[in-house]
Amino acid sequence: MSKFYTATCQAKELASEAKTAKEKAKEMSNEVLLKKGEVLRLTEDFNRLQGSETRLKNEVEELKSDNIEKDTRIVYLEGQISGLVSSLEKAREEAIASFKKSDEYKGRLDSHYAAGYEDFRADAKETFPDLDFDSFKLPLATESSVLQTSSEDVNVMDDASNEVTQGDPKTGGSAHGGSSK
């Protein structure tokens, strides 16, 4: 019986090991199924991310193309603006030159010159009562070529001083300023 008993014990052991192996195999089979499910999920995620990457790359290329198009349009518009500014400046200069040749301009010069001359004459009469300033004829721009101005005359700086110093031999030593009171 000892052989039988040993064989039975071994058979029981083998059956127990077989049962454990089957359970282990079932466990591993379940684990493989879980891993397959995870692989499928990760594959779907990977495919979705690849699609997103492709879409984003296309959008970046489209934005680059739009940017180049906009830069080109900006350069074109800046060129047009430059041309328009140049035309406007030329038209402005022509309008000013035309106005300076007009009778209206000469009339305005005469009226401003006359007003200034009358102010001078009133101040001069006050300062020099013995002189007859009424006998001086007022030269007008429409009558004289002396008062004609060109575009170069517009920016002339007046550096003359109205102050007369005491003891100046040209003025006879009086200290009158050029302003009226």
Name the more confident of 166 and 43: 43
Is residue 164 in some structural domain?
Answer: no
Percent above pLDDT 90 for the chain: 50
Q: Report H helices in the chain.
A: 2-101, 103-127
For residue 160, is it within any domain?
no
Residue 133 falls within a domain, yes or no? yes
Residue 122 domain-assigned (yes or no): yes
pLDDT class for 173, splitting at 50, 70, 90? Answer: very low
Q: Please name the residue that has the structure tokens 């006359």.
A: 114
pLDDT of residue 22: 92
Give mean pLDDT, residues 52-70: 96
Q: Which residue has the higher pLDDT, 164 or 113?
A: 113
Residue with tokens 């940017």: 67
Per the structure, the complete domain to which residue 106 belongs is given by 102-147
Query: Is the pTM for the entire model greater than 0.75?
Result: no
Q: What is the dihedral of CA 165, 169, 174, 176, to 10 degrees?
A: -50
Do the domain assignments include residue 119?
yes
Cα 131 to Cα 121, 162, 177, distances in angstroms: 10, 21, 18
Contact 121, 133 (CB under 8 A): yes
Residue type, 181: K
**Contacts of 103 by beta carbon, 8 Å cutoff, 6+ apart:** 142
- CA 106 – CA 116 distance, rounded (Å): 15
- Determine the Cα–Cα distance for residues 174 and 181; give it in Å rounded to an integer: 17
Q: Is residue 53 included in any domain, yes or no?
A: no
Number of domains in the chain: 1
Question: Does 39 map to a domain?
Answer: no
Query: What are the helix (H) ranges across 102-162?
Result: 103-127
Q: Across residues 101-130, what is the average pLDDT?
A: 89
What single-letter DSSP state applies at residue 136?
A: S
117 in a domain, yes or no? Answer: yes
